[in-house]
Structure 1
Amino acid sequence: MDMVLFGYSPHSLYFESAAVVTAFVLLGRLLESRSKRAAKMSLTALLNTAAKQAFLLVDGREVSVPAGALQKGDTFVVLAGGIVPTDGRIVEGQSAIDASAVTGESVPVAVGPGSTLIGGTINAGGRLVVEATAVGAGTELARLTRMVEEAQAGKAPVQKLVDRISAVFVPLVIVIATAGGIVWFALLGDATHAVSIAVATLVVACPCALGLATPMALLVGTGRGARSGIIIRGTDVLESTRRVTTVIVDKTGTLTTGHPAVVDVFGDGVSADTIIGNAARVEMGTDHPLARAVVAEATTRGIMGEVARGIAAEPGRGVTGTVGTTVVRAGSLEWLSESSLSVSTAIADMAVEWTSAGRSLVAVAHGDRVVGIIAIIDVVKPSARDAISALSKLGIRAVMASGDNRAVAEMVARDVGIDEFYGAMNPADKRDLITRLQQRGEVVAMVGDGINDAAALAQADLGIAMGHGTDVAIETSDIVLVTTDLRRVADSIRLSRSTLGTIRGNLVWAFGYNAIAIPIALAGIMGPAVAGLAMAFSSVFVVLNSARLRAFRTS
C-alpha cells in the first residue's frame, strides 16, 4: 500500500494518495482564504473608521447618541481626540484634522469655521461645533466604500476572456484525461495504471488559478488604493492608465489650494462694499473656489445680504441673479464683454494691470454695465511641482488648462514646471482640447474637481477627480483622489499599472502552469499526490503574487 509520488507502482492501492491529494487541496484553500481575508482588510479598515457615538448639541447641552441617529442639519460636538461621526461643516472652533485613515494624508490639516469635515477623520486639536451636512449612505465615507466595493466586484476586460476559456477548460481537461487513460490502457493493458494517469491529469489541472488571476489582484490593488485615498472606480481604468501619454490638469483647486482670498476691489462709480455684497449674493448659488472667496469676503465685511433671486450659472464663465430690481452678473470679464456689456477704460486698464501681476479677476455688472472688478489670489499647492515631476518620470506630459486669464495661467504653469498651458478656457474649450489631443493619437487623462471640469473628465480616456470636488465631477471620473495632494495622481497611475502588471503575471503563470503540468501528468511522470500538491501550489502562488501589491508605496 505504498504511496506513489512520482510515476507508477503496480502494487499501489492509492488510499494514501487520495488522502494526500485532499490534504494538499484543503491546505491550498486555507492559505487562499487567509490571503483573501487579508486583502479585504483595507476595506474593513475603511469602514471601521466611522465613529460609533456622537455628542449631539441640544439646548446647549451635549447629549451622547449613536452616530447613526444623527440627522442632516443637526449640530454636534467633536472633542479633542474624537472621531468625526459624520460629514459636516464647522460652525465654531479651530483645530487640526487627522484624515490619514480616510485620505492617506499623514499631516493633520488646519480647519476653522466654514471648513468641511469628512466622517471618520480624527480631531487632533480643540473642541469643534459642527453642523451635519450628510448622514448614513450619503456620507463621503459611505460613497467611497461603495466605489471600492463596485470596483472589486467588477471584471476587467481580460477577465471576460479568461471566463470564456475557463468555461471550456474543465470539459476539455476531462476529455484529455479520459483520452490519456484510454491510450495508456491500449499501450500497456493495465487498467490501474491508466486510471492513475487519468486521475493525476484531472487533479493537476488548475482552473482555480485562472479564476483567481484577475479578481485577486483587483481585490488587493483597489484595497491598497483605498488606504491611500485612491479610489479606482472600474476595471477598465487599469488598461487606460497603461496607455496614458498626457495629463491635463485644471488650475484652481487642483494645482492651487482652492482657498483663494480677495485682495483688492476696484469700482467705477460704485463702492467696494456694494460690488462685493452684490457679487456675493449671486455667487451663493455656485461652489466655485473664486465664488467662495467672494462670499467669504462679504461675510467678513458683514455685508452679506439675502441670496439673489433667479440665480443661473454658466459653468466656467459666471453667474447671473437679481438683487432687488437689478440684474447682477459676476464672472470673467471676457464673458461680460461678449455679452455686450459696457466696460469703462478705467476698469479695462486695471484688469490688465492686475492680470499681469498674476491675480485672478471676478468682474461684476449691474444691468448692462460692468461696475467693478475683484482681485483674488490663490496659492499654489506645495506638492504641485513634485506631482508634475513624478508624472514626467512616468513618461507622461502635463498640460494645464485653466478658466483663468492667460497671465495667471502662465505664472502658475511656470511655478510648477509645466511647459504647455492654456488660459481663459471654458468647459467646451477643455473638452475640445482633449478631443484634439486624442485625434493626434494621445491617450489623455484629465484631473479636475469642478462642474466646469465634468465635460472634460467625461471626454478624457481617464478621468481623475479630486475628492473635495463636486458630485458631478466625481461621478464622471474613473479615479477619485480623496486627498487634495496632487502627487496622488502619479501614485494612482503607478498603482493601476502595477495592478494590471500583476494580473498579467498571474495569467502567464496560470496558463503556463497548465500547459506544462498537464503533459507531465499525461506522461505518467507524476502521481496523484504530487499532482494535488502542484495544483494547490498553483492557486496559492497567484494569491501570494497578488498580495505583493500590499507593499505598494505612495510618494
Structure 2
Amino acid sequence: MNGNQTFLMSASRVGDDTLLAQIIEMVNSASRSKAPIQKMTDRVSRIFVPIVIAMAILTFIVWMIYGQESKLAFALANALAVLIVACPCALGLATPMSVMVGIGKGAKNGILIKNAEALEKLDKVNVLVTDKTGTITEGRPSLEDVQSTSTNTHDELLILAASVNANSSHPLAEAVVKKAKELNLSLLEADKFNTVNGKGVVGHIHNEKILLGNEALLLDDGIAITDQIKARVASEQEKGRTVSYLAKGNELLGYLVIADKIKDTAKQAIHYLMDHGVDVIMLTGDNAKTAKAVADELGIKHFKAQALPEDKLLEIKKLQQEGKVVAMAGDGINDAPALAQADIGIAMGTGTDVAIESSEVTLLKGDLLGVVKAKVLSHKLVRNIKQNLLFAFLYNVLGIPIAAGILYPTFGILLSPMLAAAAMSLSSLSVILNSLRLNVVNIDVK
C-alpha cells in the first residue's frame, strides 16, 4: 500500500500474457473440448437419429393400417410424439455438461485442466512418474554447509559458487545465491555460463573454468575425488541432502551441502495413490544415496537416481510400451520432454513456464495432493457422465414405445405431442441437475 510517495512500477506481463488471463483461457478451452466418451456418444447419435425417424414412420404406417377412427389424426399425432420424445438433447448434453462442471470444480481446487480428454483419462492412470526437487520436495532448498577440501576459505568457496549460480534459475542455485547475499558477499563477474543437464553448471571467472555440480560433471573433466571426500559426502547424502562439488580448473576446491524439505502432504498423497493401485516411481537427477533417503522416507519402492532428461523420457516410453497409462509430475525445464510424452503431463504451478506448457494439467499449489484430487475428480466425472447417458437412454427406451402407442390397446393411454415435449424437457433437466451435482462432490482426501 503506497502512501504519499511516488514510485515507478514495471509490468513484466500484461493482457493475455498474465497468469490470470492464461488460467481463464485454459479453463475456457477445456470446457469447449470433447472427452473421448463424447465421441462414442456422437457415433451412437448418428445411428440413433435415423432409427428414431424410421420408428416415427413405422408408427404412422401402423396407425394408418390398424387405427379404428380418425386414423390420419392419430397417426400424425403419435408419429410426432415419437420424434419429440426421442429428441437427442439429453444425449447431447450428457457429456459436455459434466465436463464443463468438472473442469470448473477442478479450477476451484487449484487444478487447471487443458482438455476434457486429460480429465477423463486421469481415471485410468496406473503409474505416476514424479520428479523430486520442487515436486516431492518444497523446491525452496537452503544451503546448510560449505566444506573446503583445499586452502580456500568458506567465504571464498561461496563467492565462486554463487557467482556461477547467479546465471541459473535452478532452485539449488537460488539457495546458494541467497546465502551469499545474506552474508553480504560480493559476487564476481562470470561468463561463458553453461548448464549441463542433469549434472550441474559451468562458468568462467577471471578466465578460469569453474565447475559446480555432481560427481559426473567432475568426472567428465577428469577431476578426481578421493575416497575420503566421497565418504564424507555419502554421509550427507544418506540424510537426504544434495551435495554439489566445486572445482576450479582441474582442482577440487570443496563441496556444498543443500537441504530441501519434503512437502508436508507428499507422503499422504503417495500412500493414497499406492493404496488405490497406482505405482509411484521417482526419477531424479540427484545422486543415488539422496534419492534412496527420500524414497525410504516416503515409502516409494521404485526410483531412479542421476536421471537425465532423456532417461526420464525413455522410462516413460518403456512403461507405455508395457501397456501402462502413465502420468508424469514435474516442475522443471528438464521435465518438459517427459511431461509431453506421458499420457497425462502434470506440472506444478510453482515451476517453469515450459513445464506448464508441456503438460495437460497444472496444479496451482504445486502439491502432489492435487494429483490425488484430480484423479478422484476424474473418477467422479466419468461416473457422472455414465449416469447422464443412462438417464438419456432410459428416457428414450421408455418414452418411444409409449409415444408410439404401445399402451393404447391395453390401457387406452396415448402420449400427446405436448406431454412428449414435457417428457423430453424433463430428460434434459435430469441430465443438467445430475451434472451440477459435481459442484458439491467432495474430492478432498483425509
TM, length-normalised to structure 1: 0.73
Deviation digits for residues 435-464 of structure 1 (CA, Å, limit 9, x no counterpart): 332333322211111111112212222211
For 1:306 and 1:143, how far apart are their aligned partners in 2? Answer: 38
Q: Report what 2:426 is aligned to.
A: 537
The structure-2 alpha-carbon separation of the partners of 1:435 and 1:370, relative to structure 1 and needing over 3 Å to count, comes to: farther
Q: Report what 2:157 is aligned to.
A: 275
Please list, as runs of the form range in 1=range in 2, the aligned pairs for 1:71-86 lying within 5 A after superposition.
Answer: 75=9
* Equivalent in 227, 233, 238 of residue 114 of structure 2: 233
Q: Report what 1:406 is aligned to.
A: 288
Q: Report what 2:37 is aligned to.
A: 158
SS in 1 for 2:134: helix
Displacement of 1:384: 1.4
Paired AA for residue 386 in structure 1: Q
Kindly indicate whether residue 123 of structure 2 is the aligned counterpart of residue 262 of structure 1.
no
In the alignment, is the contact (CA less than 8 A) between 1:262 and 1:294 conserved in 2? yes
Displacement of 1:62: 5.0
For 2:164 and 2:384, how far apart are their aligned partners in 1? Answer: 51
Q: Report what 2:410 is aligned to.
A: none
In the alignment, is the contact (CA less than 8 A) between 1:284 and 1:307 conserved in 2? no
Paired AA for residue 214 in structure 1: T
Paired AA for residue 160 in structure 1: K
For 1:343 and 1:502, how far apart are their aligned partners in 2? Answer: 60
Kindly indicate whether residue 61 of structure 2 is the aligned counterpart of residue 182 of structure 1.
yes
Q: Report what 1:210 is aligned to.
A: 91
Please list, as runs of the form range in 1=range in 2, the aligned pairs for 1:182-331 lying within 5 A after superposition.
Answer: 182-188=61-67, 190-267=71-148, 268-305=150-187, 308-331=190-213
Q: Report what 2:317 is aligned to.
A: 435
For 2:21 and 2:336, how far apart are their aligned partners in 1? Answer: 22
Paired AA for residue 253 in structure 1: G
Greater displacement, 339-348 / 328-337: 339-348
SS in 2 for 1:357: coil
Kindly indicate whether residue 225 of structure 2 is the aligned counterpart of residue 333 of structure 1.
no
For 1:538 and 1:498, how far apart are their aligned partners in 2? Answer: 21
In the alignment, is the contact (CA less than 8 A) between 1:384 and 1:486 conserved in 2? yes
Deviation digits for residues 185-207 of structure 1 (CA, Å, limit 9, x no counterpart): 12226111111101211211121
Q: Report what 1:348 is aligned to.
A: 230
More strand by share: 1
For 1:146 and 1:56, how far apart are their aligned partners in 2? Answer: 32
Displacement of 1:361: 0.9
In the alignment, is the contact (CA less than 8 A) between 2:106 and 2:374 conserved in 1? yes
Q: Report what 2:24 is aligned to.
A: 145
Kindly indicate whether residue 395 of structure 2 is the aligned counterpart of residue 513 of structure 1.
yes
Q: Report what 1:101 is aligned to.
A: none
In the alignment, is the contact (CA less than 8 A) between 1:206 and 1:538 conserved in 2? no
For 2:59 and 2:260, how far apart are their aligned partners in 1? Answer: 74
For 1:443 and 1:158, how far apart are their aligned partners in 2? Answer: 17
Kindly indicate whether residue 258 of structure 2 is the aligned counterpart of residue 376 of structure 1.
yes
Kindly indicate whether residue 333 of structure 2 is the aligned counterpart of residue 451 of structure 1.
yes
SS in 2 for 1:251: coil
Displacement of 1:279: 2.0
Displacement of 1:304: 4.4
Paired AA for residue 280 in structure 2: A
Displacement of 1:220: 0.3
SS in 2 for 1:254: coil
In the alignment, is the contact (CA less than 8 A) between 2:38 and 2:95 conserved in 1? yes
For 2:437 and 2:31, how far apart are their aligned partners in 1? Answer: 17
In the alignment, is the contact (CA less than 8 A) between 1:173 and 1:205 conserved in 2? yes
Paired AA for residue 284 in structure 1: A
For 1:392 and 1:350, how far apart are their aligned partners in 2? Answer: 35
Displacement of 1:343: 3.2
Displacement of 1:56: 6.8
Q: Report what 1:61 is aligned to.
A: 5
In the alignment, is the contact (CA less than 8 A) between 1:266 and 1:347 conserved in 2? no
SS in 2 for 1:61: coil
Displacement of 1:346: 5.2
Displacement of 1:415: 1.6
Greater displacement, 385-394 / 429-438: 429-438
Q: Report what 2:361 is aligned to.
A: 479
Q: Report what 1:44 is aligned to.
A: none
Deviation digits for residues 518-553 of structure 1 (CA, Å, limit 9, x no counterpart): 122112542223211210011011111111111122
Deviation digits for residues 377-396 of structure 1 (CA, Å, limit 9, x no counterpart): 11111111111122123221
Paired AA for residue 169 in structure 2: D
Paired AA for residue 103 in structure 2: T
The structure-2 alpha-carbon separation of the partners of 1:366 and 1:400, relative to structure 1 and needing over 3 Å to count, comes to: same
Q: Report what 1:19 is aligned to.
A: none
TM, length-normalised to structure 2: 0.90
In the alignment, is the contact (CA less than 8 A) between 2:64 and 2:72 conserved in 1? yes
In the alignment, is the contact (CA less than 8 A) between 1:343 and 1:369 conserved in 2? no
For 2:198 and 2:168, how far apart are their aligned partners in 1? Answer: 11
Displacement of 1:320: 1.8
In the alignment, is the contact (CA less than 8 A) between 2:159 and 2:188 conserved in 1? no
Displacement of 1:164: 4.2
Paired AA for residue 154 in structure 2: A
SS in 2 for 1:134: coil
Paired AA for residue 440 in structure 1: E
Kindly indicate whether residue 372 of structure 2 is the aligned counterpart of residue 493 of structure 1.
no
Structure 1, unaligned stretches of length 5 or more? Answer: 1-54, 64-73, 76-130
Displacement of 1:132: 4.9
Displacement of 1:333: 2.0
SS in 2 for 1:312: strand
Displacement of 1:160: 2.6
For 1:345 and 1:323, how far apart are their aligned partners in 2? Answer: 28
SS in 2 for 1:253: coil
The structure-2 alpha-carbon separation of the partners of 1:433 and 1:312, relative to structure 1 and needing over 3 Å to count, comes to: same
Structure 2, unaligned stretches of length 5 or more? Answer: 407-413
Paired AA for residue 165 in structure 2: E
The structure-2 alpha-carbon separation of the partners of 1:499 and 1:376, relative to structure 1 and needing over 3 Å to count, comes to: same
SS in 2 for 1:313: strand
In the alignment, is the contact (CA less than 8 A) between 2:270 and 2:280 conserved in 1? yes
The structure-2 alpha-carbon separation of the partners of 1:132 and 1:263, relative to structure 1 and needing over 3 Å to count, comes to: farther
RMSD, aligned CA: 2.2
Q: Percent identity of the aligned residues?
A: 40
In the alignment, is the contact (CA less than 8 A) between 2:198 and 2:306 conserved in 1? no
Q: How many residues align?
A: 434
SS in 2 for 1:161: helix
Displacement of 1:170: 4.3
Paired AA for residue 61 in structure 1: Q
